[in-house]
Amino acid sequence: MEKPSNIIKAPAACKLPAGDHYWCACGHSSNQPFCDGAHLEKAPEKTPLKFTLEAEKEVWLCQCKETSTPPYCDGTHKNI
């Protein structure tokens, strides 16, 4: 697996609509924190994480890819 070059050491605050969303788990997406399909070429063993919101909500999504609560930030980026 190629190491991601665009890991961001801060969460992304996102106001998302209800429905399905796909969080980038590989770190290669140019649309962080969301999947753009880059894993297909650069990290085929990593797949995006689908998460569903029942209603519109503001969430803090992990961008360092080290969280223990994916797709949500748990502050791990502070220790990287």
pLDDT class of 2 with cuts at 50, 70, 90 = low
Is 90 exceeded by the pLDDT of residue 7?
no
Among 18, 19, 29, CA closest to 62:
29
Q: Taken in order 33, 13, 67, 70, is the CA torsion positive or negative?
A: negative
Among 9, 59, 1, 49, CA closest to 28:
1
The confidence score (pLDDT) of residue 80 equals 82
Q: What is the mean pLDDT of residues 5-12?
A: 85
Give the model confidence (pLDDT) of 10-42 as tens digits: 999 999 999 999 999 999 999 999 999 999 999
pLDDT class of 3 with cuts at 50, 70, 90 = low
Residue 30: CB atoms within 10 Å: 9
Q: What single DSSP character describes residue 31?
A: T
Give the model confidence (pLDDT) of 62-71 as tens digits: 999 999 999 9
d(C-alpha 52, C-alpha 26), whole Å? 19
